[in-house]
Amino acid sequence: MINYFDFYGIPQSFHPYQAGLKKKFYELSKQYHPDFYANEDEEKQQEILELSTINNKAYQTLSDPAKLLEYILRLHDLVADGAKPQLPADFLMEMMDINERLMDVETAHDLANVTAEVLAVEGDIDESLANLTSDYEQLDDTAKESRLTEIANIYYRQKYLLRIKESLNTFASRF
């Protein structure tokens, strides 16, 4: 996996300086623009095309908070496709309760109540994530690893909640 932070020459952060990212993106876009290498051999053109592609993917990832979160967790092998995370029992019980109430929705008012509860849970999760990522860069390596584990737990809660929000959207179309 390519380390986009190294590619851009910036420290790993959940909150990279956006203006600096954009500046680096444009700088590398100009440096690796395929048109400037049209007279080079095929191997050099392919290399530049790959660097240009990496630059685009790096910028898309580092400038999107959701993609950035997942990317950093993947860099540390804390997120994997098909992984079955162990979520806390109290969170799972709360989600099961919400799902049951969602299945019992009969009116727009019922749906609004469940939606409000889901949004409150989402707000709590977002607040926890903000607290965990705000000072990440200042931590030592041991504390960072511990913090990343906590952030991964929040990430998996977000993913779980996303499925419930998708169900809410399906139910909302009925009213």
DSSP codes joined into one string, the chain? ---HHHHHT----SS--HHHHHHHHHHHHHHT-GGGGTTS-HHHHHHHHHHHHHHHHHHHHHTSHHHHHHHHHHHTT---TT------HHHHHHHHHHHHHHHT--SHHHHHHHHHHHHHHHHHHHHHHHHHHHTGGGS-HHHHHHHHHHHHHHHHHHHHHHHHHHHHHHHHTT-
Site of tokens 């990522």: 133
Question: How many whole angstroms separate alpha carbon 7 and alpha carbon 9?
Answer: 6
Q: What is the pLDDT of residues 117-138, one digit of tens each?
A: 999 999 999 999 999 999 999 9
Question: How many whole angstroms separate alpha carbon 82 and alpha carbon 159?
Answer: 12
Question: How many whole angstroms separate alpha carbon 98 and alpha carbon 168?
Answer: 10
Asked whether the predicted pLDDT for residue 83 surpasses 80, the reply is no
Tokens in use for 33? Answer: 């623009």
Model confidence at 1, pLDDT cuts 50, 70, 90, reads confident
What is the structure's pLDDT at 80?
83
Q: What is the pLDDT of residues 12-34, one digit of tens each?
A: 999 999 999 999 999 999 999 99
Mean pLDDT score across all residues of the chain: 94
What is the structure's pLDDT at 170?
86
Q: What is the pLDDT of residues 91-100, one digit of tens each?
A: 999 999 999 9
